Amino acid sequence: MSDNLKHTPGPWFAVEYAGRYSFQRKDEYGDPDLLDQDSCSRACYNAKLAAAAPELLEACVEFIRKCDFGETKSELYSSYAQMKEAIKKATE
C-alpha cells in the first residue's frame, strides 16, 4: 500500500514561528510549508492526511488499548475497520 501513497513522505515537523505553525520536512523555520499549494506539489494529499490525523490517532490508540488488554478477535476487528476508514479518508 505504501507504494500508492501520494503525500510527502515523513518525517514531518510542526514548526512554530511568530505564533503560526506549519508542517515542514525540517525542524527549523524557513522550509516550505507542506500544506502550501504554491510551494508543494503534494499539498492536496498532505492536507487530506492532516485532516484524517485525529481519526487515525484515535483508531491507533483504541487498537493498541484492545491489544494490550487481550481483547477478542471480533473486538479487534472494529478497531481494524476504524483504521481502514481513517486511512481511506487520508488517501482518497
| pLDDT, tens digit, 9 for 90 and up, residues 53-81 | 999 999 888 888 888 888 777 777 788 88
pLDDT of 1 strictly over 60: no
Query: Where do the structural domains in the chain lie, given as residue ranges?
Result: 2-91
Can you give the pLDDT at residue 50? 93
15-53 residue pLDDT tens:
988 898 899 998 877 888 999 999 889 999 999 999 999
15, 22 contact by CB (below 8 A) = yes
Which residues are 21's β-sheet partners? 16
Cis peptide before 9 (omega within 30 of 0): no
Q: pLDDT band for position 2 (50/70/90)? A: low
pTM summary value: 0.75
Contact 50, 22 (CB under 8 A): no
